[in-house]
Structure 1
Protein backbone atom coordinates (compact mmCIF):
# COMPACT_ATOMS: atom_id res chain seq x y z
CA UNK A 1 0.00 0.00 0.00
CA UNK A 2 1.11 3.57 -0.48
CA UNK A 3 1.33 4.22 3.27
CA UNK A 4 3.52 3.49 6.28
CA UNK A 5 3.64 -0.05 7.65
CA UNK A 6 0.90 -1.20 10.03
CA UNK A 7 -1.41 1.76 9.39
CA UNK A 8 -5.13 1.07 8.84
CA UNK A 9 -7.12 2.27 5.81
CA UNK A 10 -10.59 2.19 4.25
CA UNK A 11 -10.77 1.46 0.51
CA UNK A 12 -13.73 2.31 -1.74
CA UNK A 13 -14.37 1.56 -5.42
CA UNK A 14 -17.73 3.37 -5.66
CA UNK A 15 -19.43 2.88 -9.03
CA UNK A 16 -18.48 1.10 -12.25
CA UNK A 17 -17.02 4.33 -13.66
CA UNK A 18 -14.57 4.50 -10.76
CA UNK A 19 -13.71 0.80 -10.33
CA UNK A 20 -10.99 -0.56 -10.43
CA UNK A 21 -9.47 2.63 -9.01
CA UNK A 22 -9.62 3.08 -5.24
CA UNK A 23 -10.30 6.05 -3.04
CA UNK A 24 -8.40 5.60 0.20
CA UNK A 25 -8.85 7.27 3.59
CA UNK A 26 -7.74 6.50 7.13
CA UNK A 27 -9.87 3.78 8.73
CA UNK A 28 -13.08 5.43 10.02
CA UNK A 29 -12.14 8.45 7.81
CA UNK A 30 -10.62 10.46 10.64
CA UNK A 31 -7.54 12.57 10.02
CA UNK A 32 -6.71 11.56 6.45
CA UNK A 33 -5.57 15.00 5.31
CA UNK A 34 -1.80 15.40 5.32
CA UNK A 35 -0.88 11.73 5.83
CA UNK A 36 2.28 10.75 3.95
CA UNK A 37 1.86 9.02 0.59
CA UNK A 38 4.56 6.48 -0.35
CA UNK A 39 5.03 4.53 -3.60
CA UNK A 40 4.66 1.11 -1.98
CA UNK A 41 7.29 -0.32 -4.34
CA UNK A 42 10.49 0.92 -5.93
CA UNK A 43 10.34 2.65 -9.29
CA UNK A 44 10.98 5.82 -11.24
CA UNK A 45 8.77 8.90 -11.38
CA UNK A 46 7.29 8.92 -14.89
CA UNK A 47 5.18 12.11 -14.61
CA UNK A 48 4.18 14.81 -12.15
CA UNK A 49 1.50 17.31 -13.16
CA UNK A 50 -1.56 19.36 -12.28
CA UNK A 51 -4.93 18.28 -13.67
CA UNK A 52 -8.13 20.30 -13.27
CA UNK A 53 -10.10 17.24 -12.11
CA UNK A 54 -7.43 15.14 -10.42
CA UNK A 55 -5.42 17.96 -8.85
CA UNK A 56 -1.78 17.22 -8.10
CA UNK A 57 -0.88 13.90 -9.74
CA UNK A 58 2.18 11.63 -9.65
CA UNK A 59 2.66 8.55 -11.84
CA UNK A 60 5.40 6.04 -11.03
CA UNK A 61 6.87 3.44 -13.39
CA UNK A 62 7.61 0.19 -11.53
CA UNK A 63 8.95 -1.65 -14.59
CA UNK A 64 7.63 -4.42 -16.83
CA UNK A 65 4.66 -2.25 -17.85
CA UNK A 66 3.35 -1.62 -14.31
CA UNK A 67 2.62 1.90 -13.07
CA UNK A 68 0.84 3.48 -10.12
CA UNK A 69 -1.03 6.80 -10.15
CA UNK A 70 -1.70 9.07 -7.16
CA UNK A 71 -4.35 11.85 -7.39
CA UNK A 72 -5.50 14.78 -5.23
CA UNK A 73 -2.15 15.22 -3.47
CA UNK A 74 -2.11 18.20 -1.12
CA UNK A 75 1.31 19.55 -2.07
CA UNK A 76 2.45 20.81 -5.46
CA UNK A 77 2.99 17.75 -7.66
CA UNK A 78 6.77 18.22 -7.87
CA UNK A 79 7.47 19.33 -4.31
CA UNK A 80 8.99 16.01 -3.15
CA UNK A 81 9.83 14.20 -6.40
CA UNK A 82 10.41 15.18 -10.01
CA UNK A 83 10.14 13.26 -13.25
CA UNK A 84 13.05 10.83 -13.55
CA UNK A 85 13.66 10.47 -9.79
CA UNK A 86 14.14 6.97 -8.43
CA UNK A 87 11.91 6.11 -5.47
CA UNK A 88 11.68 3.27 -2.95
CA UNK A 89 8.76 1.98 -0.92
CA UNK A 90 9.65 4.46 1.84
CA UNK A 91 10.04 7.61 -0.28
CA UNK A 92 7.52 10.32 0.57
CA UNK A 93 6.03 11.52 -2.71
CA UNK A 94 3.35 13.76 -1.18
CA UNK A 95 0.49 13.99 1.30
CA UNK A 96 -3.19 13.07 1.11
CA UNK A 97 -5.16 16.11 0.00
CA UNK A 98 -8.29 17.35 -1.72
CA UNK A 99 -6.94 19.09 -4.82
CA UNK A 100 -8.77 19.08 -8.14
CA UNK A 101 -12.44 19.47 -8.96
CA UNK A 102 -13.09 15.71 -8.73
CA UNK A 103 -11.91 15.41 -5.11
CA UNK A 104 -15.34 16.51 -3.90
CA UNK A 105 -13.56 18.74 -1.40
CA UNK A 106 -12.71 15.84 0.93
CA UNK A 107 -9.19 14.64 1.62
CA UNK A 108 -8.48 11.20 0.17
CA UNK A 109 -6.02 9.45 -2.10
CA UNK A 110 -7.32 8.33 -5.47
CA UNK A 111 -5.05 5.40 -6.33
CA UNK A 112 -4.67 3.37 -9.52
CA UNK A 113 -2.53 0.46 -10.66
CA UNK A 114 -2.04 0.56 -14.43
CA UNK A 115 -0.50 -1.76 -16.99
CA UNK A 116 0.78 -0.90 -20.47
CA UNK A 117 3.88 -2.22 -22.19
CA UNK A 118 4.46 0.71 -24.56
CA UNK A 119 4.40 4.20 -23.10
CA UNK A 120 2.89 5.74 -20.00
CA UNK A 121 -0.58 4.28 -19.40
CA UNK A 122 -3.74 6.35 -18.93
CA UNK A 123 -6.91 5.73 -16.93
CA UNK A 124 -7.99 3.42 -19.77
CA UNK A 125 -5.19 1.06 -18.66
CA UNK A 126 -6.32 0.70 -15.03
CA UNK A 127 -6.11 -2.76 -13.51
CA UNK A 128 -7.67 -4.23 -10.36
CA UNK A 129 -5.62 -3.13 -7.36
CA UNK A 130 -3.60 -5.74 -5.51
CA UNK A 131 -2.15 -5.17 -2.03
CA UNK A 132 -0.31 -7.89 -0.11
CA UNK A 133 -1.61 -10.66 -2.37
CA UNK A 134 -5.28 -9.64 -2.17
CA UNK A 135 -7.18 -8.02 -5.04
CA UNK A 136 -9.53 -5.10 -4.31
CA UNK A 137 -11.98 -4.61 -7.15
CA UNK A 138 -15.69 -4.55 -7.96
CA UNK A 139 -18.08 -1.63 -8.31
CA UNK A 140 -19.64 -0.32 -5.11
CA UNK A 141 -17.32 -2.13 -2.72
CA UNK A 142 -15.81 -0.96 0.55
CA UNK A 143 -13.11 -2.56 2.69
CA UNK A 144 -13.17 -0.98 6.13
CA UNK A 145 -9.84 -2.09 7.64
CA UNK A 146 -6.94 -2.83 5.29
CA UNK A 147 -3.53 -2.81 6.95
CA UNK A 148 -0.53 -1.49 5.04
CA UNK A 149 2.34 -3.97 4.84
CA UNK A 150 4.70 -1.43 3.26
CA UNK A 151 7.41 -2.40 5.78
Structure 2
Protein backbone atom coordinates (compact mmCIF):
# COMPACT_ATOMS: atom_id res chain seq x y z
CA UNK A 1 0.00 0.00 0.00
CA UNK A 2 3.01 2.31 0.35
CA UNK A 3 3.05 3.13 -3.35
CA UNK A 4 -0.56 4.32 -3.53
CA UNK A 5 -0.94 6.38 -0.36
CA UNK A 6 -1.52 9.51 -2.42
CA UNK A 7 -4.21 7.92 -4.58
CA UNK A 8 -7.46 7.97 -2.56
CA UNK A 9 -9.50 6.06 -5.12
CA UNK A 10 -7.12 3.12 -4.93
CA UNK A 11 -6.64 3.19 -1.16
CA UNK A 12 -10.35 3.56 -0.39
CA UNK A 13 -11.28 1.22 -3.22
CA UNK A 14 -9.06 -1.55 -1.92
CA UNK A 15 -10.58 -1.24 1.55
CA UNK A 16 -14.11 -1.37 0.11
CA UNK A 17 -13.15 -4.29 -2.15
CA UNK A 18 -11.71 -6.16 0.83
CA UNK A 19 -14.87 -5.56 2.86
CA UNK A 20 -17.11 -6.74 0.02
CA UNK A 21 -14.92 -9.80 -0.53
CA UNK A 22 -14.97 -10.70 3.17
CA UNK A 23 -18.75 -10.40 3.35
CA UNK A 24 -19.29 -12.39 0.12
CA UNK A 25 -16.91 -15.13 1.28
CA UNK A 26 -18.67 -15.47 4.64
CA UNK A 27 -22.13 -15.41 3.04
CA UNK A 28 -21.34 -17.89 0.26
CA UNK A 29 -19.48 -20.19 2.65
CA UNK A 30 -22.61 -20.44 4.78
CA UNK A 31 -24.74 -21.70 1.87
CA UNK A 32 -22.00 -23.51 -0.07
CA UNK A 33 -19.60 -25.02 2.47
CA UNK A 34 -17.52 -26.93 -0.11
CA UNK A 35 -16.38 -26.75 -3.70
CA UNK A 36 -18.65 -29.69 -4.48
CA UNK A 37 -21.76 -27.76 -3.37
CA UNK A 38 -20.88 -25.03 -5.87
CA UNK A 39 -19.96 -27.40 -8.68
CA UNK A 40 -23.10 -29.53 -8.24
CA UNK A 41 -25.57 -26.65 -7.84
CA UNK A 42 -27.66 -26.51 -11.01
CA UNK A 43 -28.86 -22.96 -10.41
CA UNK A 44 -25.34 -21.57 -10.01
CA UNK A 45 -24.13 -23.49 -13.06
CA UNK A 46 -27.10 -22.34 -15.12
CA UNK A 47 -26.62 -18.73 -14.02
CA UNK A 48 -22.92 -18.78 -14.84
CA UNK A 49 -23.55 -20.40 -18.20
CA UNK A 50 -26.05 -17.65 -19.02
CA UNK A 51 -23.63 -14.93 -17.94
CA UNK A 52 -20.83 -16.39 -20.01
CA UNK A 53 -22.62 -17.75 -23.08
CA UNK A 54 -25.65 -15.51 -23.53
CA UNK A 55 -24.85 -12.19 -21.89
CA UNK A 56 -21.27 -12.17 -23.17
CA UNK A 57 -21.46 -14.46 -26.18
CA UNK A 58 -18.81 -12.38 -27.96
CA UNK A 59 -16.35 -13.16 -25.13
CA UNK A 60 -17.38 -16.70 -24.25
CA UNK A 61 -14.18 -18.26 -25.59
CA UNK A 62 -11.81 -15.94 -23.72
CA UNK A 63 -9.50 -17.70 -21.28
CA UNK A 64 -10.09 -15.38 -18.32
CA UNK A 65 -13.53 -16.78 -17.44
CA UNK A 66 -13.84 -18.49 -14.07
CA UNK A 67 -14.80 -22.15 -14.25
CA UNK A 68 -17.38 -21.83 -11.45
CA UNK A 69 -16.31 -25.14 -9.95
CA UNK A 70 -15.12 -23.85 -6.57
CA UNK A 71 -16.24 -21.65 -3.74
CA UNK A 72 -13.41 -19.27 -4.65
CA UNK A 73 -14.77 -18.96 -8.21
CA UNK A 74 -18.21 -18.11 -6.83
CA UNK A 75 -16.92 -15.56 -4.32
CA UNK A 76 -14.69 -13.90 -6.91
CA UNK A 77 -17.55 -13.57 -9.39
CA UNK A 78 -19.96 -12.22 -6.78
CA UNK A 79 -17.36 -9.80 -5.41
CA UNK A 80 -16.73 -8.36 -8.88
CA UNK A 81 -20.44 -7.97 -9.58
CA UNK A 82 -21.14 -6.26 -6.24
CA UNK A 83 -18.05 -4.03 -6.65
CA UNK A 84 -19.12 -2.87 -10.12
CA UNK A 85 -22.72 -2.26 -9.05
CA UNK A 86 -21.76 -0.30 -5.93
CA UNK A 87 -18.40 1.33 -5.24
CA UNK A 88 -17.13 1.40 -8.83
CA UNK A 89 -20.39 2.86 -10.14
CA UNK A 90 -20.39 5.49 -7.40
CA UNK A 91 -16.77 6.45 -8.06
CA UNK A 92 -17.33 6.79 -11.78
CA UNK A 93 -20.74 8.47 -11.76
CA UNK A 94 -21.06 10.59 -8.61
CA UNK A 95 -18.33 12.97 -9.77
CA UNK A 96 -20.24 13.86 -12.92
CA UNK A 97 -22.74 16.26 -11.38
CA UNK A 98 -20.38 19.20 -10.82
CA UNK A 99 -19.54 19.12 -14.53
CA UNK A 100 -22.81 17.95 -16.10
CA UNK A 101 -24.99 19.91 -13.67
CA UNK A 102 -23.87 23.15 -15.31
CA UNK A 103 -25.66 23.24 -18.66
CA UNK A 104 -23.04 25.20 -20.53
CA UNK A 105 -20.51 22.42 -19.97
CA UNK A 106 -22.71 19.78 -21.56
CA UNK A 107 -26.02 20.81 -23.09
CA UNK A 108 -28.48 17.94 -23.18
CA UNK A 109 -29.61 18.74 -26.72
CA UNK A 110 -28.66 21.01 -29.60
CA UNK A 111 -31.46 22.55 -31.64
CA UNK A 112 -29.26 23.35 -34.63
CA UNK A 113 -26.56 21.72 -36.67
CA UNK A 114 -23.17 23.38 -36.84
CA UNK A 115 -23.46 25.83 -39.75
CA UNK A 116 -21.26 25.65 -42.80
CA UNK A 117 -18.60 28.37 -43.23
CA UNK A 118 -19.80 31.16 -45.52
CA UNK A 119 -23.46 30.99 -44.44
CA UNK A 120 -25.41 33.65 -42.53
CA UNK A 121 -25.71 31.38 -39.48
CA UNK A 122 -21.96 30.85 -39.49
CA UNK A 123 -21.45 34.63 -39.63
CA UNK A 124 -23.82 34.96 -36.64
CA UNK A 125 -21.51 32.68 -34.65
CA UNK A 126 -18.48 34.76 -35.56
CA UNK A 127 -20.27 38.03 -34.71
CA UNK A 128 -21.83 36.94 -31.40
CA UNK A 129 -20.91 33.40 -30.40
CA UNK A 130 -22.70 33.64 -27.04
CA UNK A 131 -26.02 34.54 -28.66
CA UNK A 132 -25.61 31.80 -31.26
CA UNK A 133 -24.85 29.33 -28.46
CA UNK A 134 -27.94 30.37 -26.50
CA UNK A 135 -30.13 29.84 -29.57
CA UNK A 136 -28.79 26.32 -29.85
CA UNK A 137 -28.94 24.95 -26.31
CA UNK A 138 -31.77 23.42 -24.35
CA UNK A 139 -34.63 25.64 -23.14
CA UNK A 140 -34.78 26.53 -19.43
CA UNK A 141 -37.53 24.06 -18.46
CA UNK A 142 -35.86 21.18 -20.33
CA UNK A 143 -32.57 22.10 -18.67
CA UNK A 144 -34.10 22.03 -15.19
CA UNK A 145 -35.66 18.65 -15.91
CA UNK A 146 -32.36 17.27 -17.22
CA UNK A 147 -30.31 18.57 -14.30
CA UNK A 148 -32.84 17.22 -11.81
CA UNK A 149 -32.49 13.75 -13.36
CA UNK A 150 -28.72 13.94 -13.18
TM bin (shorter chain): under 0.3
In terms of fraction of residues, the more helix-rich structure is 2
Highest Rg: 1 or 2?
Answer: 2
